Amino acid sequence: NAGVTQTPKFRVLKTGQSMTLLCAQDMNHEYMYWYRQDPGMGLRLIHYSVGEGTTAKGEVPDGYNVSRLKKQNFLLGLESAAPSQTSVYFCASRDTGGNYGYTFGSGTRLTVV
């Protein structure tokens, strides 16, 4: 099925460890996004990309890095995980033009202990 695939679905990290979350979409979408969702906070934008090779900061970028080497993939990295990064991470994508809804992945639940 076409859509956005996130891996892994669950992960537990120790403080200071690093990891990469992978987002892959097969819809040839130009734009991709990483959000985090915390209880009572809704979704907050971490980083986004408007095309292959481009990235930009969102509302809460500190502690994260991203790369968009291939159009279909958007990677989110945590270099040194902190308990404050415990969250559910969602990737989303959309086509060009301003009037299309986002397609979301099913999320990655990350716990940092």
The answer to whether the beta carbons of residues 15 and 112 sit under 8 Å apart is yes
Interaction between residue 22 and another protein (CB under 8 A): no
CB-wise, 72 or 104, nearer to another protein?
104
Q: What is the residue-wise DSSP string for 65-99?
A: EEE-SSTTEEEEEESS--GGG-EEEEEEEE-SSSS
Report the residue from 58, 61, 63, 77 that binds another protein according to the rule CB under 8 A: 58
Q: Looking at 11, 22, 45, 52, which residue binds another protein (CB under 8 A)?
A: 45
Helix (H) or strand (E) run with residue 111 in it: strand 108-112
The least distance separating another protein from the CB of residue 96, rounded to whole angstroms, comes to 8
**Binding to another protein by residue 61, rule CB under 8 A?**
no
β-bridge pairing 56-57 and 73-78:
unpaired
Q: Which residues bind another protein (CB under 8 A)?
A: 4, 31, 33, 35, 40-45, 48, 50, 58-59, 90, 92, 96, 98-107
